[in-house]
A and B are shown apart, each in its own frame.
Chain A
Amino acid sequence: MVPPAYKKRKRSPLPSHNGDREPSHIQDSGALFEQQSKVADKMASTRSSLAAQNDTRSPSTLTPCSIYHSNLFQLQVDELLLKVRSHEGRMANAENALRKLKTIIERIPNREPRSILQAEREQHESHTVRIPFPNPQPKTDAKFTLAYSKPANINVVGSYARKTAIQTEDQLGIDLAVTMPLSIFQDKDYLNYRYFHKRAYYLACLATAIEEAEECTFVIKYMYQHGNHLQPVINVSPGTGDDDFSRSNCQISIVLAANGAMFPMSKTLPDKNCVRTKTEEANTSDSLAIPTPFYNASLRSECSSLAYLKFLHGASLQSIGFANACVLGSVWLRQRGMRASLSGGGFGAFEWACMMALLLQGGGHKGKPVLSKGYSSYQLFKATLKFLAMTDLVAKPLLIKAEFVDVTASEHPVLFDGARGMNILYKMTPWSYAMLRHDARSTLDLFDDPLSDHFHACFIASFNDPKQKFGSIILLPLRQIRPSASRTTDAISEGMAFCGQAYQALKTGLGDRVSLIDIKPPEKPAWSPMNSKQHTTRTSRIQVGLLLNPEQSNRTVDRGPSAEDKEKAAAFRKFWGEKAELRRFKDGSIQESLIWPQKDPQKTVLEQVVTYIIRRHLGEEAFSGSNFIREPLECLLPYQSITSAEARAVHQPGMTGFEPLMTAFEILEKAIRSLKGLPLQIRQISPAHPQLCYTSTRVPILNPSQCQMDPANVHVQFEGSNRWPDVIEAVQRTKIAFLLKMGEILEEATPNLSARLGLENTDRKMLNNAFVDIIYPSGAFFRLRVHQEGELHLLERTLRDGSHTQAGRDEAGSAISTYKRNFVHAPLHTQALRNLSTRFPLLSPCIRLMKTWLDSHLLSTHISDELIELLTIRTFKHPVPGYPPDGTMPAFLRTLAFVAKWDWRSEPLIVDCSKEEKMDSKAINDIQFRFEALRKLDPARNRVAIFAASNIDPKGVTWTELGPPNMIAARFTSLARAATALAKEQGLAFEPEALFVPSMTDYDFVIYLAPKFTMGQHGAEKAVEPVFKNLQTRTQEDRSRLGFNPVRMYVDELRKLYGNNVVFFYNSQGGSVIAGLWNPQTGPRPWRIGVPYNTTPLASSGDGEDYVSINKHTTLHDIARLGGDMLLRIEVKQ
């Protein structure tokens, strides 16, 4: 009970809540509920937003705050509640069906008690419907009798009755509870399945009546309620004519209930045994030792469905926010795939509601309630999540109003409701409970991140797809085994027992390689009432999901207990069998250990461990039928290699392939720093290239005979000096002198190093004009440029100077943005990625995969690498379900899913690239403001389509002002949508390779390149591969061709010449095609001198004006002429 004191403290500043700040601010704000609940009360809600906008935790703003996370969130939640609860109008049909069913059931005549044999025979002879007896089947000579008499009452129960059911695409479940009369049961029926056998007969009677009733056409089936084989129920599907309630999109279940007072509660407590074997009946003292909690709870749940309906109704009367909090909870659970059924985790909307109602009564410190009745719906929701996340109900079972019960610790969670005598979590397994807590924790984490879309992540996005969740998924054939762990007689189904065994084995064996193991037994489908039992399909498989620990999952050495610890060592040996070996490690310790060889790049260490465990502990049958859904994704990455050693290096997981280049970079850095004879000291040497932050699509291979194709950019910044010239052009020329000097000294310092000066942007005098290519004898290839800070100042002065023409100012403006992009942001971005890559080992493969994906769809030249990198960083830094992806596949799919949903037209991309600290809300608001200003200035998004900002680049246009344009951005989104849809549709049979196959049908024409010039796997240079190792010496001629990529130059020139009229698509990683789309704005137009395309004169139209149109055919010919020998053919779409 909430002490009324809370009410009094309304809106007073907090006097003494420093001890437990978090709950106190919830409680205090809870006092504001009455005001808050009326959304119209503007001031109250705005006051709450104040706190939400600032840091919610700072004590000064604790006062009337955070009833909702923010105003926006509150409004969104209101909208959501409106959407999911509005199903009144279309339920009329279902209501009619319910009434009809009720009349049919009420008409059923009583049946006299009879023996099991008689009953079965009668069903066989005169009816088609069979009796769905649960396992174990009743003995035919059993002494009890089966009977039917009029139900005590018929009620609609469950969330539909409480009006908290949510309306989604799924079918709405309506439970029609038929309460069986006391008269057909006996006192001891709670023992040995007798209740359940009688219940099964009762159900069969109902099914018979509905099946045989003439006025209705419902289709009925048997189904296990929540997958619990003890509780078959009747599932009613729409019939024809009047009985067609499919418009209501619901499913009616006829469930059976019993009078709550039928069996004494004390007999069905979790520590009692109700299933006795013959021998045990003789010796009762022994039998009591092994309780049957599942059986007991199943029985108790039968007896208390009405009691719970009343209890929950009471709770919603007491607490105004309760009903809405139930809805929010249902939505949250649904989006995470948690359901009430055994295969769905055993925690559904009902359990959520019960948990909240119980927590309103107690569960806190000294039995005080955890939740307050004054909480708003969102507060109830969040506090319940917090309770789930913080409390471990396995280690510390929670008993509410149940001082008399003594629950022994087991591996199952316990939340015992003393008033109704039931553990409401009885259907939960250790793994589903761990998963639920994990989800709760990560959702709370989400609220701490100011940059994630809380509302979307919490309620809208769906995380049902295991591919987006688990780094590794294994399918195991379901085997029916007896619970082997003990002699327990509990009614756990055999499939569940197998799951438990698999869980235990994998948990012990995988240790900290995984952070969570989730097991999903197959769903039990409904079956026809003509059969007494469900036919188990041979092929049913359980799905094991592993939430990996990326740092540890592929560890090659497992260190077990020390050899001296005899007991543990023996257990270790017993578990691992011949795989365990005693080893002496470098630090002198002698330990049991496991060594996993990493021979086959296709089979990761994790896969080896898992298959070994399955084979050893779950049997050969399980092993041969198991299917390890591995990550083929890394194999999709392109690589260039010539020897097998290199192939291995490339296939190494993570970023190891980049190490040689990183080492080479360190050598270069040292060499430059130690240069003597330069006029100025060196201030900074900064890498600015994907290869130097683990994100280039291809792993740079160092090989003396074959250099990597692209040089890695490095900027050298000298210390400031006032002797730099005062004119931008002269600065650029001075840099040439510096570069020449540096190259010269470097060549002298390292034998065999080649440094050559190259020119760029020779037609634009304001831009950087020169660079030096450094080629190490090892094959490392760097491109040095000089970064001079003063350039920016000079350029800005040019821009401000009123004396320039518009063209001159434009040029200066573009030079400024080029300078900032290349010299300011690129090094910062590279540095941020270097940091993040060490923090998230999967970031690098995922970025490379995203780039490969874009490459394969010919988009990579339009969308900058940095934009892709930011999008992928988002997946890791602001993960939507609240935790970063644990495998390449989840990371890739989540990134695609984000792109698919991201409305870049009206939402900015904001990413926090910092390692530790978070962006403050002011910075975020500034970015948001910038974005809105940009959209106001350019509503058609002609200049910048996508806005992507980060903490190191708050301007947000650095990486997108050169593209993609609207059209490409839209294509990007639609490709991501298609990919996400495909992944969703194919489920676990998903083949990611399919995402990487481009479609050529959308393009107007396709240019096929001659094979000599397509880079394929090895690059253009490697068309002829020398056979003999000693012939691979590099000649000067070879070196001069380094970095030569004619196709890229060709595409660049095509863009320059025809960019206004044609959009070109090209795979920058060496595709064999260039595709093109005509700009639709190239229609006929009146003659003038400067028509921006190759024209054909049209016959005079007679109105005096002469028209010309684009000469597409000749333009294609021009394209072919420019390409010359590089082209094979051009295909034009008809």
Chain B
Amino acid sequence: MPSSAKIPLQIAGYDILPLSLPRLASFPQAAIHYLYVAPHQPKLPTSTASRSLFLVNVPFDSTETHIKHLLSAQVGLPAGRIEDVQFEGQRRKATNSGGALSIKHKQDKNSKKRKRGSSKIALDDMEGAELPSTWDRDLQSNGLTAVVLFVDRASMNAALKAVKAVRKEQIELVWGEGIEDKVPALGSARYLNHHQLTYPDTGQILESTNNYMTKYAAKEASQARSAAKQRQEPDEDGFITVTRGGRTNPAKQEAAQELAEKQKEKQKGLEDFYRFQSREKRKERAGELVRKFEEDKERVRKMKERRSRFRPE
């Protein structure tokens, strides 16, 4: 592996922070992980961007504890200056928790037309109704990024300076040193934990399910109410919106299509009634045969090309 001397100090404006990885019984060689650090410059400026650092290539086992420990205790800054650490996956979760459904919800907000027509029940407010997590600690995929939010800009600058200093003075930082007991262990313990979390307490799961169902029922009822209201009252332009669920038997698009196809089938009439029909059919068949023959010839030609065997083994 390349020695740390050859590693540039910066890459594309990011400071490179080498981290030594602790030696393991199963992998006793030394290994160095490279973390890239820069001030956070998001495309859409946010209020907190000015006091945030942006980290690239965080180790897969990073946790908030890890990063906080690294950027305070390990680089030599007082603790408590970091307000929050957000990993990329988590960031995504925070903005659109609830998955696809809430995306729709957001779009509903943006477009007026949609909003009126929407009958989907958005379930983004599901506190107390979520399924318990089955992992004790999330892992970060490779190359992922994190945003570290400091309490103020000065702390952020201090941290960045400290990172540069580490590089200059060639201080060896060992990843995760000193916090081994503060984070859940990896290895078999992690999987045993996972196995146990897979089977949550029945009471807990029952409660969450009940909560969910209650909320779902409430949402459904309110949706139904608003739909009913829409059906009865004309809007400001004097139109009555057509909404789902008005009739006793909701018409299904599929059923209607099927019916239409059946009707079409019926209208076709006899196929061999006129002479021209049978003549055309014959012609068609002959054409089909010629086509098939050509296809087969083509297949054999391809087989020859692939050097399929025509010679007995």
Contacts and interface: CB of A to CB of B under 8 A. Distances in A.
A1090 interface: yes
A72 B33 contact: no
A734 B33 contact: no
Interface residues of B, number: 85
Interface string B145-165: 100000000000000000000
A1114 B31 contact: yes
B27 A1117 contact: yes
Given A42-B293, A50-B289, A1097-B11, A805 B308 contact: no
B283 to A, nearest CB: 13
Interface string A318-342: 0000000000000100110000000
18 contacts: A71-B292, A75-B296, A80-B310, A83-B311, A331-B312, A460-B310, A725-B220, A734-B213, A756-B199, A1057-B139, A1058-B142, A1089-B56, A1090-B143, A1094-B33, A1096-B34, A1099-B2, A1124-B185, A1124-B187
Contacts of B205: 736, 740, 757, 759, 770
Contacts of A461: 313
A586 interface: no
Question: 5 tightest CB-CB pairs across the interface, nearest first?
Answer: A1124-B187, A808-B100, A1120-B27, A46-B289, A1127-B26
A1125 B187 contact: yes
Contacts of A1044: 191-192, 195
B206 interface: yes
B134 interface: yes
B199 A1094 contact: no
A333 to B, nearest CB: 11
A812 B101 CA distance: 11
A733 B213 contact: yes
A1121 B19 CA distance: 15
A730 B216 contact: yes
A1124 B101 contact: no
Interface residues of B, dominant DSSP: mixed
Contact of B61 (A70, A807, A1118): A1118
B35 to A, nearest CB: 10
A795 to B, nearest CB: 11
Contacts of B209: 733, 736-737, 740
B142 A1124 contact: no
A168 B209 CA distance: 72
Interface stretch (B72-80, B228-236, B270-278, B298-306): B298-306
B128 interface: no
Contacts of B289: 43, 46-47, 49-50
B194 interface: yes
Interface string A1094-1134: 11111110000010100101111110111111111110000
B99 interface: yes
A46 B32 CA distance: 70
Given A811-B100, A1096-B2, 10 more contacts: A46-B289, A76-B303, A726-B220, A1040-B199, A1089-B143, A1106-B12, A1114-B33, A1117-B21, A1118-B59, A1118-B60
Interface string A72-108: 1001100110111000000000000000000000000
A225 to B, nearest CB: 24
B133 interface: yes
A1126 B187 contact: yes
B87 interface: no
A803 interface: yes
Interface of A: 42-43, 45-47, 49-50, 53, 70-72, 75-76, 79-80, 82-84, 166, 168, 331, 334-335, 456, 459-462, 725-727, 729-730, 733-734, 736-737, 740, 756-760, 762, 765-766, 769-770, 773, 798, 801, 803-805, 807-808, 811-812, 903, 906, 1013, 1040-1041, 1043-1044, 1046, 1049-1050, 1053, 1056-1058, 1061, 1087, 1089-1100, 1106, 1108, 1111, 1113-1118, 1120-1130
Interface in B28-47: 29, 31-34, 36
B8 interface: yes
A84 B292 CA distance: 27
A1113 B18 CA distance: 14
B199 A758 contact: yes
B120 A727 contact: yes
Nearest to B205: A757
B253 to A, nearest CB: 9
Nearest to A53: B292
Given A47-B289, A725-B216, A1121-B61, A79 B304 contact: yes
A740 B204 CA distance: 12
B90 interface: no
Contacts of A756: 199, 202
A1108 B185 CA distance: 31
Contacts of A1043: 195
Contacts of B99: 729, 765-766, 808, 811
A1093 B143 contact: yes
B198 A760 contact: yes
B186 A1121 contact: yes
Contact of B103 (A166, A168, A808, A1113): A808
A1091 B306 contact: no
Nearest to A732: B131
B123 interface: yes
Given A740-B202, A903-B308, A1040 B61 contact: no
Given A79-B304, A1058-B142, A1113-B31, A1097 B16 contact: yes
Contacts of B120: 727
A1096 B1 contact: yes
Contact of B189 (A53, A456, A798, A1124): A1124
B104 interface: yes
A950 to B, nearest CB: 22
A1050 B190 CA distance: 9
Contacts of A1099: 2, 6-8
B212 to A, nearest CB: 5
B11 A1108 contact: yes
A936 to B, nearest CB: 14
A222 B285 CA distance: 62
B188 interface: yes
A83 B21 contact: no
B198 A462 contact: no
Given A903-B306, A1057-B139, A1057-B142, A1095 B312 contact: no
Nearest to A330: B312
Nearest to B16: A1097
Interface in B216-275: 216, 220
A1050 B104 CA distance: 36
Contact of A1095 (B133, B143, B206): B143
Indicate the member of A1050, A1116, A1124 with the most B CB atoms within 10 Å.
Answer: A1124
B142 A1100 contact: no
Nearest to B28: A1129
B178 interface: no
B206 A740 contact: yes
B48 interface: no
Contacts of B220: 725-726
Contacts of B121: 726-727
A497 B291 CA distance: 59
Contacts of A801: 104
A84 B1 CA distance: 59
Contact of B293 (A45, A334, A1121): A45
A1049 B189 CA distance: 12
Nearest to A771: B198
B310 A762 contact: no
A807 B92 CA distance: 13
Given A42-B290, A1108-B11, A1114-B33, A49 B296 contact: yes
A787 B313 CA distance: 50
Contacts of B61: 1118, 1121-1122
A109 B131 CA distance: 106
Nearest to B175: A1121
B60 A335 contact: no
Given A49-B292, A1057-B142, A1125-B188, A462 B312 contact: yes
